[in-house]
Amino acid sequence: MSTSRRLLLVNGPNLNLLGIREPDVYGHATLDDVVALVERTAAESGYEVRAVQSNHEGVLIDAIHAARTDCAGIVINPGGLTHTSVVLRDALSGVALPVAEVHISDVSAREPFRHHSYVADVAVVHVVGRGVAGYADATRELLSTLAS
């Protein structure tokens, strides 16, 4: 376990459109709202947050690789990469940090292609379908895992 008091928050493709894209599914909160929520939640336990969002898989993988040297864990909403990216899953596995997977919507109740997560087997925390508040839940659960 890392002694760092920092978490990496990763948001995948299209999450920069939160608040605009399909508000009936994702709500009206923006990505900035999500980052602020995770920062506040992590600060409750004395942690800081480095946040990254990209529509490019390689940028996310580079951020995950960099986290291995100065982060204690990762909170990730991989977006559509959840269902398609073996390399993202391998990056998470490769850095050997505890991972919290979060999804705003209940992906198991949506289209069949969203039912499989390549991240699920490397994540120690899974928060699905709790809206943006799920990010706070996932952060708290991850911090609880780090404390034990």
Q: Which residues are catalytic?
A: 26, 103
Tell me whether residue 105 is annotated as binding: yes
Partners of 74 in the beta sheet? 8, 99
CA distance 105 to 87: 23
Tell me whether residue 32 is annotated as binding: no
Left, alpha or beta for 27 (phi > 0: left; psi -120 to 50: alpha)?
A: left
Tell me whether residue 74 is annotated as binding: no
> Helix, strand, coil shares of the chain as percentages rounded to 5?
45, 20, 35
State the binding site for substrate.
77, 83, 90, 104-105, 114
Residues at the binding site are 77, 83, 90, 104-105, 114
